[in-house]
Structure 1
């Protein structure tokens, strides 16, 4: 493939075509020596074609931006010049008129001054001079025609005599005269003759040239190079030279079998990671050898050495991308660490090559002044090199200013050898997020494999959760180093996403265990607190064990959450360092590089890793690290300083997973605590008292005396339930010092942030001596949630959960209500309502049941009729059905 080396050549070649598709096809068509276009391309050529298309698109993009910038400058120049143009035209018109009048006068005076005989003599002399010039031109054309007639014989004779320099000079002279035959029928035959003779000379020189190159005869190679340059075959000379000098390193690459790359018939003894540093060492030795030869032969040694490196890397078979793909597939999920080692070796090679290139530059330009070294206090100069394709800028700039910043590069900056070296790694670097996630998931699988080999006792689950969390965060801490080494910070977005999904997967596994596996074990013994002050509670030894297990898991979740917050702080610090490094590189790209070389930095900069999402992430991290202070105002002098903004969480899904885990533990604890109360209500809906026909307002004595009664006592079931509810605060007094209860209060059922705020305010208003359940001040931790708030939140959640079960499942299951049954139910609900209010619980469904059941038939029917036009309350509709109001 042949793609123009510079933007100007690309634009010039594009201007020669009217159809863009035709230009692209011609540009990507193989040149001399390539296979036929009609034959299908092998996989290697397709890969090379893909790289060429990528390079072509990048060059077109840069050319487009350069053209846009030039058009903008032209528009600005024209806009500034148009207002003065009218004045200049008017001034020029006046001057031209004055000059015309002056010339007419001078011409008339000159005619008047010259006699008629003299004028006629001058006209004759002018005519004779014109004839002489044309005759001389005709003579030169005849001489050129005569020389072309003997050109083939002369050049062939000189080639046979091995007078290659004279033959080249003769062809050069003939080539200069080709312009004489332009647009004539003689042009094409003479052009074909010229090309044929040049081919003969090149063929005659090729054998001697290859011998001189192999013998490292710099003088002979230099002489041959001058001959090739004279006949305009300089590129062919370079191809001969590159192919001969790289043959050894290419053979080393091709003939070395590797155990973790493509299949080989030979017995492989080493892996790609071991072979690549040796290959680079040999390549560096070759470049050090060629440094002297190239400087002696070529007039542009820096450019030549860069082309030599690029052509060598592109001629490797199998190609570097193919070997990297096979290498990554061989190592599977853990390929990231292997790719990092290979990339590190490549960066070390590139650093060594940069030193060689600097030596070449200094050797060819010894009188160049040294570059000035800027200090952190120097202001950026206007000639600083700034990439026109920078898509991330942590400092916003106007579009006009950004487009006018043209990169000023020296001879080293224009080299593309390092892009050829690092281009094969770019696809893997772009896919860093996926590679990191696969590595972390495989590490997680390896960590939990030991847990699945044998059955883990339920009592050991909390401890195992904390231990595995230590292993998990240990693996995750290495991810920041991998991101830095493999993508130089450009993979920050993929890093955050991979870590977030990794932690989420880990926590979700434990949440699934809680939700699916019943925790019961004979090794769990009855807690000692059930033998003492709480022995009267209706909990079995297994219930106490389940409560303890849930609380221990909740405590483990809090430990993991604290560790996650610490890790997120480290991650935020790393991202802040990346943002600072990017800012330095963007402000002064000449002295601060993001990657190992300028070419690698440019490849990463132009890749999809350099996205708006990365810009947003780094900008938010930088704003959190250095919040901008508002302008000083006298009216704000005496106001307290505003608290620093709370940073946005980075591991959002991991936090949600921990909240889900805490909610599962809380639901398990709630279910165990409320289990005795639910057992009391097992036969409540089928109680025969709901169908009793006795008048609840009268009670018959033993002597048939009807004694009026003013209220009904609650049923035994409700009294036992009430006792259980009133014992709940005693239960939480025992666990008042357990920090696990305070973890993730916002995920408790029926507890909202506003409710927690109200509970906290109510607790702060209470005097210390009236809060007998509050922890002593000596046990209070800074910024810890008050134990009273924690107990109140749990009691509110338990109360609402129980009442929701009562009103949603038990009460609707009552088959029917007589008048006496409705009175009994109203008494029970009234009693329960008073009990739960003592626990700071107000349940709207319970209040509606109590209100509707307490109505007589007339009031109930009236209320039911009044609510027909509106959506009917499902509680009213159910009570009406039970009481027979409709």
Structure 2
């Protein structure tokens, strides 16, 4: 073997031995690479040497792996060969044990026979004397303990009188150790009572001196007193003395605060009146100053500075009167509907205080840790390894990135993770955070009330309604955008589902109010002037100035609804982007909890995780948002609650077009648009409906048949078809003039908004018409060839004005025909033979006009067919209709003819 080979083998052996000292591979790699040659500045380090060193390390590991594999194979072979002999060896051992047992019995028997009786008697006497000696020594120890207890009270009292508190504590500690001797005896309870009494005397004697030392910040005396209290097992009492003395100033500041919007206990009337939100940062600043001042003494006096400081903070908040929860509840009640924004201010001040405390805790933890010198290269460092692995084992797991050396508040040392002061600090907020959706909705409703009240004060009621609708919508969208910041600040994203619910209900309530008040408010827009050529052309449509104003108002409201819809879509895009950011942060906190926290501290995060805000609905929402934003094929698991993982069962292929989050809002907006469309159609069709108001009462329906016409019918003399009535002719002229009306509004985008809500309009026909207009739309939709962008709602392509006009004309035609068949025709009471002939002619004429408007109405066709039916056939259909109640047209016509 060459010298190089031996060197490599020796180095590999040492390397493997060093690896055996570690429980984690990451710690071993880091310590191995920390060599003096490579411990240079990062900017000046030689990366080539580092690469060579890593290559050498990989070579050594490969050699070690091969050696280990070879040794393992040899061991397996040896074991395989040895197993068949195991049964034989066990049987052989059993036989040997039985033989040995028999031999021992024989030897014992022979040894007893070999000892003379005199010797045996002497040995028994020696054993008896040894037992007596042992028992006498035990009795002497008990008597000594009893003697020490008889003088215990006098000795301890004397030492206390001499102010030899340390000796008195040691004497009590020694006596306390002997208490076990009297356990289960009648002497135990009296001696226990004596021990407690003496400890109380010592504590009472020390209390005044202890308080004086604490107030004067005599660290040496406090440290001595702490050791005394620890000896007599009164360490908790010492902490109570210390905490009560050191927190007196900050508790007094809390109690004497003169607040204008929260409960006061004993306010200082000379102090300036201030709000709770203004007072709290000052209180926290004073508290942080006190904690910084206590950092040195606590480190010197107590063996566990972080735990001591945590207990000090908790005890201070417990001693506040009124409590933080009571004052916060009073503060919330004072502001009522607008309390949420003030809640945010108070929570942010508390989070800043918590962040400052975490930094202080880290300093205490670092100060209490013993600094270690850098070990030599290739040397074993078990102590350093143990400390580092204990810090990493809390949250670092294989497969995750190694935690950074930078400490994020709430994500630091394992010793700090177990402290519960931050949970106690944020506990008063959790009820309000859980009730976030209600608070947010009340705040938004209050904002709407202020907007409406402000408009009333500014004389906005004199402005036209469409403009007022748009302006208020702008203000409401602005208020809703602010709600995203409040959701993030107050719930750190856990209230995202509630945010959508509150905003959706807020917008829907606003739009529903306008829908309900659309008829009750008078038209405030100015009437149009009819001097233009187009207006003169429409002068024969029999519309009054009020009718034109109503049409104008309805279309302007419909146009405002379109603008509001665009603004809501823009807001929803921002909302999706906001939710995607929160979902991304949740995922980071889930994958790397050491360096990322959702809230300000881990305690606040845990409270939010354990609340009802962390629901399956929330996680499903984040999963959908992430799929839409990033194209993820795997749903997001519960960030901090594993049982919720089973609730995320989404399709592997996310929807190409994101569904609207503001479902109720868009539903209400569609209802409002439909209300505007119905109002517009009612005004447009009002002249035609007025013409039909007297149609059922025309005398022609009950006119008797002319005998000459009857004779001509018997002689089969040919007759000409009847002309429609004047009413029907005027109605038909009005229907044929409707396209001229829409030519005036052809450039109005309001008509193209929400076509799907037009009454009696077939959505499939509308969809096919739009697709024929834009055949390229289907090939360019999101998801065909590429995924959708960041959850933006696609903006619909503009619709051809001809398609819009056709849709409106078809809807108007159906509306008019429906009015004719449902309201007008059933009003005819009697129908003679000439009346039936005239009605048939009118219906035939109207059917042709309706077809010219692309209107195919089954009810109108049914009326026309039934009116032309033969008497026997009609009677049969009427009887069947009377039996099953389906064909009401046949039944009504039969009653008009007097056949039923």
- After TM superposition, the score normalised by the length of structure 1 is 0.79
**What is the match of residue 201 of structure 1?**
202
Please say if residues 490 and 610 of structure 1, whose CA atoms lie closer than 8 Å, have aligned partners that are also in contact: yes
> Could you say if the C-alpha distance between residues 101 and 328 of structure 1 is closer, same or farther in structure 2, counting changes exceeding 3 Å?
farther
Measure how far apart 1:189 and its partner are.
1.2
Query: In the alignment, is the contact (CA less than 8 A) between 2:455 and 2:461 conserved in 1?
Result: no
User: Which deviates more from structure 2 when the two are superposed, residues 293-302 or residues 265-274?
Assistant: 265-274
Match runs of 1:223-262 below 5 Å: 223-262=224-263
Deviations 1:242-269 (A, max 9, x none): 0001001100110121112125583652
Matching residue within 455, 479, 489 for 1:475: 479
* Cα offsets for 1:351-402 (capped at 9, x unmatched): 11111111111111132699xxxxxxxxxx9935289xxxxxxxxxxxxxxx
Please give the residue correspondences for 1:863-882 in structure 2 after superposition, counting only pairs within 5 Å. Answer: 863-867=877-881, 869-882=883-896
Q: Secondary structure at the match of 2:658?
A: coil
| Structure 1 match to 2:296 | 292
Distance 1:101 1:135, change over 3 A: farther
- Secondary structure of 2:418 counterpart: coil
More divergent stretch after superposition (737-746 vs 753-762): 753-762
Query: Which residue number corresponds to residue 650 of structure 1?
Result: 661
- 1:102 matched to which residue of 2? 100
Q: Deviations over 1:737-775 (max 9, x none)?
A: 22211111111111242231244467689xxxxxxxxxx
Structure 2 CA distance for partners of 1:98 and 1:826, relative to 1, 3 Å = farther
Asked if 1:715 is matched to 2:713, the reply is no
State the Cα RMSD in Å.
Answer: 3.1
Question: Which residue does 2:189 correspond to in 1?
Answer: 188
Q: Aligned partners of 1:96, 1:361: CA distance in 2, in Å?
A: 60
Q: Does 1:626 align with 2:630?
A: yes
Cα distance change of structure 1 residues 750 and 297 upon mapping to structure 2, 3 Å threshold? same
> How far apart in 2 are the matches of 1:340 and 1:782?
39
Residue aligning to 1:728: 738
Contact 1:433 1:495 in 2 (8 A): yes
The correspondence of residues 3-18 of structure 1 with structure 2, limited to 5 A, is none
CA distance in 2 between counterparts of 1:313 and 1:91 reads 72
Alignment of 1:819-858 (within 5 A): 819-858=833-872
Q: Is the deviation greater in 732-741 or in 754-763? A: 754-763
Q: Deviations over 1:565-592 (max 9, x none)?
A: 0100100010011111011111111100
Residues matched between the structures, number: 742
Moved more, 301-310 or 533-542: 533-542
Deviation at 1:535, TM superposition (A): 2.8
User: For residues 613 and 251 of structure 2, what CA distance do their matches in structure 1 show?
Assistant: 32
Matches within 5 A, 1:682-701: 682-695=693-706, 698=709
Is the Cα contact below 8 Å between 1:284 and 1:349 reproduced in 2? yes
Paired with 1:697 and 1:739, the residues of 2 have a C-alpha distance of: 59
Contact 1:526 1:544 in 2 (8 A): no
CA shift for structure 1 position 409 = 6.3
Equivalent pair of 1:384/1:588 in contact (CA under 8 Å)? no
Whether 1:818 aligns to 2:832 is yes
Corresponding position of 1:519: 523
Deviation, structure 1 residue 679:
1.1
Contact 1:527 1:544 in 2 (8 A): no
Aligned counterpart, 2:424 = 420
CA distance in 2, matches of 1:501, 1:91: 83
5+ long unaligned stretches in structure 1? 1-87, 371-380, 388-406, 631-641, 766-780
Paired with 1:296 and 1:753, the residues of 2 have a C-alpha distance of: 80
Q: Deviations over 1:213-245 (max 9, x none)?
A: 111111111111111111111101100100001
Deviation per CA, 1:169-219, whole angstroms, max 9, x where unpaired? 111111111111111111111111111111111111111111111111111
1:797 has 2:807 as partner: no
Alignment-derived partner of residue 223 in structure 2? 222
Question: For residues 265 and 173 of structure 1, do their structure 2 counterparts lie closer, same or farther at Cα, with a shift above 3 Å needed?
Answer: closer
Asked whether 1:597 is paired with 2:598, we answer no
Q: Does 1:352 align with 2:353?
A: no
For 1:106 and 1:485, the matched residues in 2 are separated by 84
- 1:585 and 2:589 correspond: yes
Q: 1:266 aligns with which of 248, 264, 269?
A: 269
Does the Cα contact within 8 Å between 1:527 and 1:545 map onto a contact in 2? no
Q: 1:385 aligns with which of 395, 412, 419?
A: 395
Pairwise CA distance, 1:124: 4.8
In structure 2, distance between residues paired with 1:696 and 1:172:
137
Change (3 A) 1:592 1:761: closer
Aligned to 1:84: none
Is contact 2:448-2:476 (8 Å) kept?
Answer: yes
Tell me the residue number matched to 2:782: none
Give me the whole-angstrom Cα distance separating, in 1, the residues matched to 2:503 and 2:770: 35
Aligned to 2:79: none
Evaluate the alpha carbon distance shift between residue 742 and residue 428 of structure 1 in structure 2; reply closer, same or farther with a 3 A threshold. same
User: Which one of the candidate residues 551, 554, 560 is aligned to 1:547?
Assistant: 551
In structure 1, how many angstroms separate the alpha carbons of the residues matched to 2:861 and 2:801?
A: 29
Tell me the residue number matched to 1:52: none
Aligned to 1:883: 897
> Does the C-alpha gap of structure 1 residues 282 and 91 become closer, same or farther in structure 2, counting only changes over 3 Å?
farther
Larger mean CA deviation between 692-701 and 590-599 belongs to: 692-701
Cα distance in 2 between the residues matched to 1:369 and 1:735: 87
Mark the CA change 1:382 to 1:271 in structure 2 (over 3 Å): closer, same or farther.
Answer: closer
CA contact (8 A) 1:527 1:541 kept: no
Deviation at 1:708, TM superposition (A): 3.7
Partner of residue 502, structure 1: 506
Change (3 A) 1:444 1:706: same
- After superposition, what is the alpha-carbon deviation per residue over 1:122-181, rounded to whole angstroms, capped at 9, x for unaligned? 555444433332222222112112211221111111111111111111111111111111
Change (3 A) 1:308 1:198: same
Residues 368 and 601 (structure 1), Cα distance of their counterparts in 2 relative to 1, 3 Å cut: farther
CA–CA distance in structure 2, aligned partners of residues 607 and 90 of structure 1: 65
Contact 1:697 1:709 in 2 (8 A): no
Q: Match of 1:515, SS? A: coil
The alignment partner of 2:547 has SS state of helix
Superposition deviation, residue 517 in structure 1? 2.8
- The structural deviation recorded for 1:95 is 7.3
Corresponding position: 1:429 with 2:433: yes
Residue equivalent to 1:673: 684
